[in-house]
Amino acid sequence: MNTNTTTSTVTAREAAEVAAANASGKQPVVFVHGLWLLPSSWAGWRTFFEERGFATVAPDWPDDAATVDEAREHPERFAKKSVGQVADHLEEVIRGLDRKPVIIGHSFGGLLTQILAGRGLGVAAVAIDPAPSRGVLPLPFSSLKGAFPVLGNPVNYGRAVTLTFEEFQYGFANAVPEDEARRLYDEFHVAASGRPLFQAATANLNPFTEVKADKRNPERGPMLVVSGENDNIVPWAMANAAYKLQRKNEKSVTEITEIPGRGHSLVIDAGWSEVAQTSLDFLERNGVRPA
């Protein structure tokens, strides 16, 4: 448990969720969102796992707004958040739990999931379409195009960036019908810090980068990497490269699976429950159960 309350970054909402998870005595699952989304994007997943007997926690990134509407009113709050800052905040939240959680993350949340697992903080991990860490070398054109709205302007390193619908559709919602893409954009999309994308883009040039995960830690736990077949931002080549790095762990199982016909929106679009079930099946195969 954390004892240093004077410097704590844990919000009242996060502390309440941690306390509820501890009081339940159930296996906790921590959901980590990525860029352009909020913790509320995991609402369906949380219900799915809670109905199957787990306790769930969905932490913020530092200074996340409480709602999408609030986030859109104050997009500047997202600026300048770094991968290391977010990882350290999530670690503080996790260390408040009485039991090591399952950690499930999407996109930059998938990268953060690998970082947290590499710190030995989870009993198991699922990294869904994970943003690249140091050592992931493939850089497909579609990924560059998807990141260009941020990386195309160096000033965005210190800014919060909002995607246009067309940019969101290409990066997130290319594998769903346009009407669903618009619904996802209206319901979920918020501004995001540009800094993590610059950190990921330069990770292989910077030996001191925050964008790296300990793949060999014997306390990492089982890990599943999930790839959407039609993902533009994190294509198979990038997800598979992350898997190949993670499978260097000699202590724990590492698996990868591809979800046919799915894009980067696979955790929020109409087919999210298929990905949730794939994650649950992996946990069950590896002995991670609710109680």
Give the side-chain half-sphere CA count within 13 A for 103.
33
Which residue ranges make up each domain of the chain? Answer: 12-285
Its pTM surpasses 0.85: yes
**For residue 170, what pLDDT is reported?**
97
Taking the CA atoms of the chain, what radius of gyration do you get in angstroms?
A: 17
Is the Cβ–Cβ distance between 107 and 275 less than 8 Å? no
- DSSP single-letter state for residue 162: P
- Find the length of the chain: 291
**For residue 7, what pLDDT is reported?**
86
Burial of 248 (0-12, 13-18, 19+ CB in 10 A): exposed
Q: What is the CATH number of domain 12-285?
A: 3.40.50.1820
Question: In the chain, how many H helices and how many E strands?
Answer: 11, 8
Give the side-chain half-sphere CA count within 13 A for 176.
23
Q: For the chain, list residues with pLDDT below 50.
A: 1-5
CA 25 to chain centre: 25
Give me the phi and psi of 118, to 5 degrees please.
-65, -20
Q: Cα dist. 143→1, 193, 214, 279 in Å?
A: 39, 17, 24, 24
Residue range 100-110, pLDDT digits in tens: 999 999 999 99
Is the Cβ–Cβ distance between 103 and 30 less than 8 Å? yes
Residue range 127-179, pLDDT digits in tens: 999 999 999 999 899 999 999 999 999 999 999 999 999 999 999 999 999 99
What is the Cα–Cα distance from 224 to 103, expressed in whole angstroms?
11
What is the Cα–Cα distance from 107 to 130, expressed in whole angstroms?
4
**For residue 6, what pLDDT is reported?**
59
What is the Cα–Cα distance from 246 to 225, expressed in whole angstroms?
9
**Largest CA-CA distance found in the chain, in angstroms, rounded:** 49
Return the closest-CA partner of residue 114 out of 138, 78, 96, 90.
90
